[in-house]
Amino acid sequence: MKRNTIKNHADFAMGENDPIAKSAYFLVRAKPAKFPGDARYGMIVTKKTFKHAVDRNRAKRMLRDWIAFAEHMMHPEWDYVFIIRRAIIDTDRTSGRTAMKKALNYLRKQEINAA
């Protein structure tokens, strides 16, 4: 199943109490879904971090692969915003997938503790 993506600028806005998970390759913030039952994700890849479009596109491709790998761990009632870090360019597929699983697992634990 392919997830919808966040496209509207206003949908990227996050609250102060939204859970966040940090990785060497990305930060991920979760917030209640705009359309419950159909979680979405968005990516923030800045020109300041990645000067060349080739690097920005590669970073997005890598993150999409990791998201598809760990999609079963994503909560359907949340929207996810990924802020990509520079270190993503120098990593391999397996370490990125491991980081994604750890980050989503951490967010899931935060949700359980908040409930």
For the entire predicted model, the pTM comes to 0.88
When pLDDT is cut at 50, 70 and 90, the band that residue 2 belongs to is low
pLDDT of 1 > 70? The answer is no
Check whether 115 has a pLDDT greater than 70: no
Name beta bridge partners: 40. Answer: 4
Distance between CA atoms of residues 20 and 106, nearest Å: 9
Nearest to 23 by CA among 67, 79, 53: 67
Alpha-carbon distances, residue 61 vs 39, 58, 109 (angstroms):
19, 5, 27
**17 pLDDT tier (thresholds 50, 70, 90):** confident
Report yes or no: 57 and 20 within 8 Å, Cβ to Cβ: no
Where do runs of H (alpha helix) occur along the chain? 53-69, 93-114
Question: Looking at residue 44, what is its pLDDT?
Answer: 92
Q: What is the CATH number of domain 4-106?
A: 3.30.230.10
How many residues are there in the chain?
115
Q: What share of the chain is helix, strand, coil (3-state, %, to 5)?
A: 45, 20, 35
